Amino acid sequence: MPFFGEVFSSEIIKKPVLDPRGEEHGRVKDLVIVRGDTLPKVSALIIEKKKKKFLFLPWSDLNIFNKKIVSAKIYCDKLLPYEMKEDDLLAVRDILDKQIVDVNGVKVVRVNDIKLEGLNTDALLVAIDVGIRGIMRRLGVERGGEDLFKLFKKTLPHSLISWNYLQPLEPKLTKISLTVPRQMLSEVHPADIADIISSVSRKEGATFFDDLDMEKAAEALSELGPDVQQEIISKMGKEKASDIIELMPPDDAADILSDLPAEKAQELLSNIEKEEAEDIQELLGHEEDTAGGLMTNKYIAYPPVMTVKEAAEQFKLDAKEVETVYYIYVIDKDEKLIGVASLR
């Protein structure tokens, strides 16, 4: 079955499908998508006739498929009826207008169109369009948009994200929402990750959070609102939740645990290393709006016999373990305060 060049889903949807005589079967309603060897591919067309009657046209029974004409090898009486199934992945129903986490732009964007390209006899999903060009194409005004931009000596931008850089938020390739692979998340600031999680549905946010490594998850959790924090921790296994909380600054960990039911908080504390658990427990003893509730017991302190050079070298190591450092405290062997050195 010949498939030439490239085509966007918006150029196919609602297009008439012709039989071998050139008579109309109906119009393209949707594309059924399945996993391919390298990229997802189209396995069938869903054709809509009048009165909301749907027909199933397998890809193998197509004769021509491009932006100008879609035709089948078989006649209408050979087409099987089709009922919408939740297990099928459909381009229009499940991909178009869905949210995508664009880590490069650190934002949540929307799928405005899907780019297909031919490989041998298959039509592969190669990219998604998340820009204004995709919207204009769906409205049928892409060419007019290009002309308008030219008047201002500008070019209508292409905003395509290759499917190679995308993966499902959910394990199965169904009800698809997409995100850039996790290795790219290591360079994203925790506050930006928190913004992304807060911008998508709670279910998608939880799945996105699960893809983070432990340290990044701990940093991002500190940036989330109390309701989201509580929901994520409550649905997480106690071992993983304890490990993440243990990596957080004690004051942030105490804030999260204080919002959880007492039984759940105690369960998580019991799985945390004794020293870290004691630091958190100490802060939990203070009311949230008191001075004690605002303080942290993570600080840097050195003995008075340490030289400036020694302190500077040690500080480079210790500062990585403390969230905010403004001072170095000088204490004696009984841990009594002798003095304070401001980093300013």
Helix (H, G, I), strand (E, B) or coil at 329: strand
pLDDT at 326 over 70: yes
Q: Which of 114, 125, 249, 150 is CA-nearest to residue 190?
A: 249
Task: Give residue-wise pLDDT tens across range 228-239.
Answer: 888 888 888 888
Task: Give residue-wise pLDDT tens across range 168-177.
Answer: 545 444 444 4
Q: Judge whether 139 and 115 are in contact, CB under 8 Å.
A: no
Task: Give residue-wise pLDDT tens across range 181-190.
Answer: 555 666 677 8
For 274, the token pair is: 């004794």
Who's near 52: CB < 8 A, 6+ residues apart?
Answer: none
What pLDDT is stored for residue 18 in this prediction?
92
The domains found in the chain, sorted by start residue, are: 6-139 (2.30.30.240), 182-294 (1.25.60.10), 301-342 (no CATH)
Q: For the stretch 257-280, what's the b/e string if a residue is b when 16 or more beta carbons lie within 10 angstroms of its beta carbon?
A: bbebeeebbeebbeebeeebbebb
| Residue reference for tokens 């189209």 | 42
pLDDT at 16 over 90: yes
pLDDT at 292 over 70: no
pTM, 2 dp: 0.57
Model confidence at 55, in pLDDT bands (50, 70, 90)? Answer: very high
pLDDT at 3 over 70: no
pLDDT at 113 over 90: yes
Taking the C-alpha atoms of residue 230 and residue 224, their distance in angstroms, rounded to an integer, is 10
Q: Which of 125, 133, 128, 90 is CA-nearest to residue 111?
A: 128
Taking the C-alpha atoms of residue 134 and residue 180, their distance in angstroms, rounded to an integer, is 20
What pLDDT is stored for residue 54 in this prediction?
92
